[in-house]
Amino acid sequence: MTIEKALVVGTGLIGTSVALALRDKGVAVRLTDVDVLALRLAVELGAGEVWTGEKVDLAVIAVPPQLVGERLADLQKQEVARAYTDVASVKAGPIADAVRLGCDQTSYVPGHPLAGRERSGPAAARACLFSGRPWALCPGSETEADAVRLVRDLVSMCGAKAVTVSAGEHDTAVALVSHAPHVVASAVAASLSAGDDVTLGLAGQGLRDVTRIAAGNPLLWRMILAGNAVPVADVLERIAAELVTAASALRSGDLDELTELLRRGVSGHARIPGTPVSPG
Amino acid sequence: MTIEKALVVGTGLIGTSVALALRDKGVAVRLTDVDVLALRLAVELGAGEVWTGEKVDLAVIAVPPQLVGERLADLQKQEVARAYTDVASVKAGPIADAVRLGCDQTSYVPGHPLAGRERSGPAAARACLFSGRPWALCPGSETEADAVRLVRDLVSMCGAKAVTVSAGEHDTAVALVSHAPHVVASAVAASLSAGDDVTLGLAGQGLRDVTRIAAGNPLLWRMILAGNAVPVADVLERIAAELVTAASALRSGDLDELTELLRRGVSGHARIPGTPVSPG
């Protein structure tokens, strides 16, 4: 049994992109959103039809992390789907909410597609957004195999690669590879307020790359960071300590440790999958 | 009078790229480097012929910042060129060295093309490396107009845009837009050593972008940072302080100031020339 009809709850960037990808695979997609304008735009973009309460095979909950548990509880109470997943970029919080609200854990497969854009909203959605990207799945001990199978079908239809991890591992991992780097990029971009237009005129591609993700929606990122606060704080403090040490080294003129940081940076960068190892 | 014959001293990435760009414009290019292998490779790549001591119109000194003054003094002693420039990414230090070594300031136009790649050496050189990029020029009060004109011709032949700034302004500016961001990117990349392969498998384009410049040559960057130590340390300390504040906010749960940092990041990013302002 596979996905013939799906419901996407929340027609922002991620939800609408999921809907478009499923439509491309011939799935009947129903959409709902508390934001009527976003819902109408997603329908106009061909992402699916407005949901009128009918049953579906899979419900994809694409709302901010803090609202996932509540929405899951509502949908399960109406017995809307055979399986449920979400796309929130943190996992421990939504799962704890679901437990607290007495949700059925057997049909819920917490998920997180590692994909995004600086733009948000349905107009920025693309069917190919997840193509080749990792998609974390965090099934618990109670999750039924059928539910996992259905959500893996979703991941596969979106062209992504399923990666199974525990919720705790996931949150620590994304703090390191996504959430803390976002805050650091914001801090670098914010530091540019100290520069005049001549200074900014000397900026190059390097600065553009370092700060690109800082263009993301501040309110969306506030919610993401709030949902993963301690792991992110841990990484930020480690990076801040490296920068303070580097600054001291520059002031003292003893640059061996700084050179070592630059070397560790080269090694760390080379470990990112898809990074070509520079031959030169 | 324009550039008919030029000497490039130092056939690394930048020197060889300058040579290739000048050759494309029909300039006779002579090359020299203490590294015989790099010199031979640059000649084989068509960047010019080995210099045998003849006079030229313009000498381009493309050596590490700490060696610019010394090399300028040597060349001027031999009266090699009508005008001299360098390409070091810091300016106050090389100029101070030149003054200390009694160099002729009338024919010297300190310069810095804001361009580069993660790879170094002549094999990475490209004639188009400077195309559309800013190229800082820091002529002093004694610099003659003819020398400035010749160096502006060089910038124009390389397809770059000349930006005239004082050496002090230049160094403060590049600390902000290039040198400190490099160290920050290194610190983010170095932090990845805390993650296992599953964690790194969740990395996306955002992390790749933030850390791309961290792949640069550590020994080259050590020299660049040493030459601009205090301005870089100032910026790093400001960024570290932002990160510590952000971490405290995450631990306390009071996220208003963090949201404000994210907003300032959006504004700072939008000020980088060539950054499209996101409509979404």
Q: Which of B176, B208, B219, B222 to probe the A interface (max A CBs under 10 A)?
A: B176
Which whole number is the average pLDDT over A78-85? Answer: 98
A153 CB-side CA count, 13 A: 21
Coil, strand or helix: which one is B89?
A: coil
Separation between Cα atoms, residue A275 and residue A277, nearest integer Å: 6
Q: With contacts defined as CB-CB under 8 Å, which chain B residues touch A229? A: 250-251, 253
Residue in B176, B187, B242 with CA at minimum distance from that of residue B213:
B187
Average pLDDT by stretches of 10, chain B with 280 residues = 93 97 98 97 97 98 96 98 97 97 98 86 94 96 97 98 96 97 98 94 92 93 94 98 98 96 97 63
Say which of A208, A240, A264 has its CB closest to residue B275. A208
Report the candidate in B5, B60, B55 with the shortest Cα–Cα distance to residue B33. B60
Residue B122 lies in a domain: yes
- What 8-state DSSP symbol labels residue A17? H
Contact (CB, 8 A) for A61 and A75? yes
Secondary structure (H, E, C), B98-133: HHHCCCCCCCEECEEECCCCCCCCHHHCCCCCCCCC
Do B108 and B196 belong to one domain?
no
State residue A113 phi and psi, 5-degree precision.
-75, 125
The backbone region for A225, taken as left when phi is positive above 0, alpha when psi lies in -120 to 50, beta otherwise, is alpha
Backbone φ and ψ of B29, nearest 5°: -115, 130
- 8 Å CB contact between B28 and B8: no
Alpha-carbon gap, residue B112 to B92, rounded angstroms: 12
Domain residue limits at B112? 5-165
Does B229 contact A250 at a Cβ distance shorter than 8 Å? yes
**Are residue A160 and residue A188 in the same domain, yes or no?**
no
Determine the Cα angle at A259 with ends A257 and A262, to 5°. 115
Interface confidence (ipTM) of the complex: 0.87
Q: Which SS3 state, helix, strand or coil, does residue A9 take?
A: strand
Tell me, what CATH number does A120's domain have?
3.40.50.720
B233: tokens are 């340390």
CB B111 within 8 Å of CB B122: no
Please, what's the b/e burial string for A183-198 (b: 16 or more CB within 10 A of its CB; e: otherwise)?
bbbbbbbbbbeebeee
At A40, is the pLDDT very low, low, confident or very high (cuts 50, 70, 90)? very high
- Measured CA to CA, the distance from residue B258 to residue B267 in angstroms comes to 14
Interface probe, candidates B119, B242, B252, B267, chain A, greatest A C-beta count within 10 A? B242
What residues of B are in contact with residue A111 (Cβ under 8 Å)? none
For B197, which residue in chain A has the nearest alpha carbon? A271
CB neighbours of residue B52 within 10 Å: 7
- Are A115 and A208 part of one and the same domain? no
The confidence score (pLDDT) of residue B277 equals 47
Tokens standing for residue B231:
């301005």
Asked if the Cβ–Cβ distance from B269 to A195 is below 8 Å, we say no
Strands B134-137 and B111-113: antiparallel
Give the total number of structural domains in chain B.
2
A150 and A181 in contact (C-beta within 8 Å)? Answer: no
Tokens coding B120: 């170094």
The domain that holds A242 is classified in CATH as 1.10.3660.10
| Residue A15 amino acid letter | G
- Given A165, A194, A224, the domain boundary residue is A165
Which one of A165, A189, A221 terminates a domain? A165
Task: Describe chain A by its helix, strand, coil percentages, rounded to 5.
Answer: 55, 15, 35
Contact A259 B203 (CB under 8 A): no
Domain match, B238 and B224 both: yes
> Is the C-alpha dihedral spanning A269, A273, A276, A277 positive or negative?
positive
Residue B161: the pLDDT is 95
A158 and A207 together in one domain: no
Residue B224's pLDDT is what?
A: 92
The reply to whether A280 falls in a domain is: no
- Rounded to a whole number of angstroms, the distance between the first and last alpha carbons of chain B is 51
Which chain A residues are within 8 Å of B17, Cβ to Cβ?
A: none
Q: Are residues A69 and A15 in the same domain?
A: yes
Q: pLDDT (tens digit, 9 = 90+) per residue, B204-215?
A: 889 999 999 999
Pick A213's closest partner by Cβ from B118, B206, B237: B206
Coil vs helix vs strand at B40? helix
Q: Is residue A279 part of a domain?
A: no
pLDDT band for A1, please (50, 70, 90 cuts).
low
Give me the mean pLDDT over the A154-172 stretch.
97
pLDDT at A118: 72
pLDDT tens by residue, A231-252:
999 999 999 999 999 999 999 9
Distance of CA A108 to the CA centre of its chain: 18
pLDDT band at residue A120 under the 50/70/90 scheme: confident
Q: Is B71 domain-assigned? A: yes
CB pairs under 8 A between A and B: 387
Q: Is the dihedral of CA A254, A260, A263, A268 positive or negative?
A: negative
The mean predicted confidence, pLDDT, of chain A is 95
Residues of B in contact with A209 (CB under 8 A): 209-210, 212-213
Mutation for testing the A interface, residue in B155, B182, B239, B262 having most A CBs under 10 Å: B262
H or E element in which residue B38 lies: helix B36-44
Query: Which residues make Cβ contacts (< 8 Å) with residue A125, sequence separation at least 6?
Result: A13, A14, A15, A16, A17, A19, A20, A42, A45, A47
Do the Cβ atoms of B250 and A262 come within 8 Å? no
Has residue A74 got a pLDDT over 70?
yes
Do B158 and B256 reside in the same domain of the chain? no
**B221 inside domain:** yes
Q: Looking at the structure, do residues A204 and A138 belong to the same domain, yes or no?
A: no
pLDDT value at position B278? Answer: 44
Distance between CA atoms of B87 and B139, rounded to whole angstroms?
Answer: 13
| Cβ contacts of A216 on chain B, cutoff 8 Å | 262, 266
| CA–centroid distance for B32 within its chain | 20
Report the C-alpha gap between A13 and A38 in whole angstroms: 10
Taking CB atoms and an 8 Å cutoff, what residues of chain B touch A225? 250, 255, 258
Q: Which two tokens stand for residue B44?
A: 């084989």
Same domain, A114 and A240: no
Residue A237 located in a structural domain: yes
- Cα–Cα–Cα angle for A229, A230, A231, rounded to 5 degrees: 100
Count other Cβ atoms within 10 Å, centred on residue B41: 18
Contact A165, B196 (CB under 8 A): no
Residues B141 and B212 in one domain: no
Instruction: Tell which of B191, B244, B245, B275 to mutate to test the A interface (max A CBs under 10 Å).
Output: B191
The confidence score (pLDDT) of residue B275 equals 62
- For residue A253, give both structure tokens: 């003129």
Contact B211/A268, CB-based, under 8 Å? yes
Residues 6+ apart with CB under 8 A from B41: B11, B121, B122, B123
Whether residues B43 and B134 share a domain: the answer is yes
Q: How many residues does this entry show for chain A? A: 280
Q: Which H or E run contains A47?
A: none
pLDDT band for position A119 (cuts 50, 70, 90): confident
From CA B244, how far away is CA B251, in angstroms rounded? 11
The contacts of residue A148 (CB under 8 Å, 6+ apart) are A109, A137, A139
Judge contact between A47 and A19, C-beta under 8 A: yes
**Chain B residue with the nearest C-alpha to that of A263:** B218
Phi-psi region of A6 (alpha: psi -120 to 50; beta: other; left: phi over 0): beta
A101 and A158 in a single domain? The answer is yes
Of B116, B137, B165, the one marking the end of a domain is: B165
Task: Please tell me the distance in Å from A40's CA to the nearest CA on chain B.
Answer: 16
Instruction: Examine residue A276 and state whether it is found in any structural domain, yes or no.
Output: no
Dump pLDDT digits (tens) for A168-211: 999 999 999 999 999 999 999 999 999 999 999 999 889 999 99
A277 domain residue, yes or no: no
User: Phi then psi for A230, rounded to 5 degrees?
Assistant: -70, -45
